[in-house]
Structure 1
Amino acid sequence: MDDTAIDYAAVFQALPGMVALLTPELVYADANAEFLRMAGRTREQVVGRHLFDVFPDNPNNEGASGMRNLAASLTRVAATGERDAMALQRYDVEDSERPGEWEERYWSPINAPVLDAEGKVALLVHRVEEVTELIRARGGPTGGRARVLEAELYTRARELQEVNERLRLAHAREREVALALQKAMLPARRQVGRHHAAVRYRPAVGALNVCGDWYDIVDLVGGHRMAVAVGDVVGHGLEAAGVMGQLRSALSAASRVAVGPGEALNVLGRYAHVVDGAESATAVSTFIDFDHHTISYSSAGHPPPVLIRPEGGVEFLDQATDPPLDARPDPFPRPQAWTSYTEGATLVLYTDGLVERRGEDIDTGLARLADSLDRHRDEDPERLADHVLLELLPPGGATDDTALVIVRL
């Protein structure tokens, strides 16, 4: 069935169970019929209003924390983009026909993010199941038993919040260490004669998605030549940073002795087979000969480099593409192609975080990159790099790492 034939609004309303949509600011955007029925609220009382305005905690119970716990969970989902299954919660519901009277109720909530085309959290899905009857069937939590159960739930909720906070701090520390390791391993910008290379690295937004991308710039022996490469390791954190360092170092060494980028990537592919965590890693390598004004290149599953012509127009170097580094069980020569350039041209290498967006075809991102590069082609490499990042990366940061190298030829 074609997606255009599906009435998603009707599907949402027909979903079994209680489901609501909230904005990252915790304002209700929608709620299905079952949610409104079980909550004892009309659509007008819910949609467009803040969480706490619709469902305040029971003012007659000093230990009531159900809504505060829900708000904390939703906020975590909005910040991390990760699903959160909450512990059992007590949340008393005010009788809509008898204001001031609250009924003891128990709920099992799950919260999940809805991401937009740029990978940012646009909405929060809140699905909740009432389990009051189940709780009562297991012992009838009334009187003293209800207070004991309430205290236990409150304690468990506090413990869960503390665990989540410790995990957040641990992830933040891992991100900090991984970024420091990344910075130490990646080279600074290079100057070969009067040819300048601008480099940029932008880590992904969030504590977990960092340190899979890398770049390398090598002065080649035997003439006025330079090797420029970028790569991408699947994974995140310290493990990805370690794999990235191994692959970058291996390609750097191979480039110094290889006759061309195809051979260098062939060597790197063999090495990737014995490196844990290098599965599906990609890389592209270019050899620049400044004396003969030529660029040879080879790609292992990576987006193509871009050559900006000084007179205008851009060319994607996509005539030597191959699968990722470890895709073949047996060694096989990598393809290699070359192109010529004129004085003042610019070579651009990048990783997929610059051009890929969730729910968007890669060709759209490549076209966006080509347009930005062509419009700013007369800028020096440093300013050109800044323009490209400003125009292509989302304002709040991307959900994937981005590496960018620009060389004025």
Structure 2
Amino acid sequence: MNDTAMDYAAVFQALPGMVAVLTPELIYADVNEEFLHMTGRSREDLVGRYLFEAFPDNPNDPTATGMRNLAASLQRVAATGERDVMALQRYDVESTERPGHWEERYWSPVNAPVLGPDGTVQLLVHRVEDVTELIRARGGPSGGRPRVLEAELYTRARELQELNDRLRQAHAREREVALALQESMLPARPQVRHRAVAVRYRPAVGALNVCGDWYDLVDLVGGHRIGVSVGDVVGHGLPAAGVMGQLRSALSAASRVAEGPAEALDVLGRYAHVVEGAESATAVTTFVDLDRRTIAYSSAGHPPPALLHPDGRVEFLDCATDPPLDARPEPLRRPQAQTSYSKGATLVLYTDGLVERRHEDIDSGLARLAKSLVAHRQDDPESLADAVLLDLLPPGGATDDTALVVVRL
């Protein structure tokens, strides 16, 4: 049977478990027959309605947390694009036959994303199992045992949820500290005489910890030259932010005395070898000679810089690519390449959060970047940087950090 012959709508309705499809705004887009049967609702009661208008918390239970827990799970899925398996939840449901009467119910929910072609979350699949009868049956026929078992399970579920809440709060505090540390180590404005430069840094949305993306711009000795670099440290939180600061500072210093970008990355690679947490970090650096209108460049496992020529042609600088920093037991001299440009060209460096998406080849992201650069090539660097972020980052934000540097040459 091929795809065109399969009625997926009929398959969805016939699924043996309770399944609902929600928008990222938590509006019911569709529900299957089992969902309607187990909740006692009609399609008209649910489709097009906000989830928590249809199923609010029991107003008679001041300790009810089902709505809060479910909202947190669905929001995590929408932000991260990752499936979330929830702990057992007590979530009472108002009887359709006896308005104002709330039935004590227990559920086992799983929430999953549906990704669009661009890798963003388009819909949320909410699958639940009503385990109320199972919980009661496990207590056996003895008088008070079912209620005791219910209470025990409910208490354990509440304890697990409270522990998860505390962990998220701790991670959120760590993220704030890491982000503040990272921002303090990134140059607030270009530290070069060349003024036609825009820089942007966007932390990941929904992540518990900030990552290790960085950028740097320096004046180089010997002529009218500047060095422009970006890099990415593997890992999250305070450790990644600390490693990021060390590598950025080391490359900034090396660039000021190195003969070219390859030598600067050689020095950085040797330094990364003795920095814990720098394994597999990536970086790319460019030396721009503004008098001769040339760009020398070298990459350590990083996405290639883009050079937007005045005629609208986009050239990706990918002829000097090597493995990430500290990828070899014994460092080898890195490759270096050079290209020329005309007055009015634009050099763009970025980290992988701008172009990489789950389940997609990076060439698709590079093609989107090229298209955006061409479409906005008449903009000044500040406007161009904003336009590129708007065009390439998902509407709800990316799940990876993004650093971007735009230099009008």
TM-score per shorter chain, which class? 0.7 to 0.9
Q: Match for residue 256 of structure 1?
A: 256
Displacement of 1:178 in angstroms is 1.2
Q: Is the 8 A contact 1:24 1:123 kept in 2?
A: yes
**Matched residues in 1 for 2:3 and 2:290: separation?**
52
Displacement of 1:296 in angstroms is 0.5
Q: Match for residue 68 of structure 1?
A: 67
Displacement of 1:311 in angstroms is 4.4
- CA deviation string 1:322-349 (max 9, x = no partner): 2322333432222111012233332221
What does residue range 83-102 of structure 1 map to in structure 2 within 5 Å? 83-91=83-91
**Matched residues in 2 for 1:34 and 1:257: separation?**
70
What does residue range 285-324 of structure 1 map to in structure 2 within 5 Å? 285-324=285-324
What does residue range 62-211 of structure 1 map to in structure 2 within 5 Å? 62=61, 65=64, 67-68=66-67, 71-78=70-77, 80-81=79-80, 82-91=82-91, 105-118=105-118, 120-140=120-140, 144-153=144-153, 155-190=155-190, 192-211=192-211
Moved more, 271-280 or 180-189: 271-280
Moved more, 162-171 or 246-255: 162-171
Equivalent residues, number: 408
What RMSD in Å do the two structures reach over aligned CA positions?
3.5
Q: Is the 8 A contact 2:298 2:334 kept in 1?
A: yes
Task: Provide the TM-score with structure 2 as the length reference.
Answer: 0.83
**Matched residues in 1 for 2:96 and 2:15: separation?**
24
Q: Is the 8 A contact 1:258 1:264 kept in 2?
A: yes
**Matched residues in 2 for 1:31 and 1:160: separation?**
29
**Matched residues in 1 for 2:194 and 2:89: separation?**
66
Displacement of 1:320 in angstroms is 1.4
Q: Match for residue 224 of structure 1?
A: 224
Q: Is the 8 A contact 1:226 1:288 kept in 2?
A: yes
SS state at 1:248 partner? helix
**Matched residues in 1 for 2:196 and 2:112: separation?**
46
**Closer, same or farther: CA 142–111 of 1 in aligned 2, 3 Å:** farther
Q: Match for residue 349 of structure 1?
A: 349
**Matched residues in 2 for 1:331 and 1:11: separation?**
56
**Matched residues in 2 for 1:312 and 1:123: separation?**
37
Task: Provide the TM-score with structure 1 as the length reference.
Answer: 0.83
Q: Is the 8 A contact 1:77 1:113 kept in 2?
A: no
SS state at 1:399 partner? coil
Q: Is the 8 A contact 1:190 1:196 kept in 2?
A: no
- The percentage of aligned residue pairs carrying the same residue is 77
- CA deviation string 1:302-330 (max 9, x = no partner): 22112222344332212212232233343
Counterpart AA for 1:336: Q
Q: Match for residue 332 of structure 2?
A: 332
SS state at 2:303 partner? coil
Q: Is the 8 A contact 1:118 1:398 kept in 2?
A: no
Moved more, 181-190 or 307-316: 307-316
Counterpart AA for 2:372: S
Q: Is the 8 A contact 2:217 2:229 kept in 1?
A: yes
**Matched residues in 1 for 2:256 and 2:5: separation?**
57
Moved more, 208-217 or 268-277: 268-277
Displacement of 1:75 in angstroms is 4.4
Q: Match for residue 391 of structure 1?
A: 391
**Closer, same or farther: CA 378–101 of 1 in aligned 2, 3 Å:** closer
Displacement of 1:286 in angstroms is 0.6
**Closer, same or farther: CA 287–195 of 1 in aligned 2, 3 Å:** same
**Closer, same or farther: CA 376–141 of 1 in aligned 2, 3 Å:** farther
Does residue 280 of structure 1 match 2:280? yes
Moved more, 245-254 or 73-82: 73-82
**Matched residues in 1 for 2:92 and 2:406: separation?**
60
**Closer, same or farther: CA 79–170 of 1 in aligned 2, 3 Å:** farther
Q: Match for residue 371 of structure 2?
A: 371
Q: Is the 8 A contact 2:307 2:345 kept in 1?
A: yes
Counterpart AA for 1:211: C
Does residue 240 of structure 1 match 2:240? yes
**Matched residues in 1 for 2:200 and 2:250: separation?**
21
Moved more, 81-90 or 4-13: 4-13
Q: Match for residue 358 of structure 1?
A: 358
**Closer, same or farther: CA 162–102 of 1 in aligned 2, 3 Å:** closer
Moved more, 271-280 or 224-233: 271-280
Displacement of 1:175 in angstroms is 1.9
Q: Is the 8 A contact 1:119 1:399 kept in 2?
A: no
**Matched residues in 2 for 1:154 and 1:84: separation?**
20
**Matched residues in 2 for 1:55 and 1:355: separation?**
39
Q: Is the 8 A contact 2:215 2:230 kept in 1?
A: yes
Q: Is the 8 A contact 1:191 1:197 kept in 2?
A: no
Moved more, 371-380 or 97-106: 97-106
Counterpart AA for 1:342: S
**Matched residues in 2 for 1:100 and 1:197: separation?**
63
**Closer, same or farther: CA 389–101 of 1 in aligned 2, 3 Å:** closer
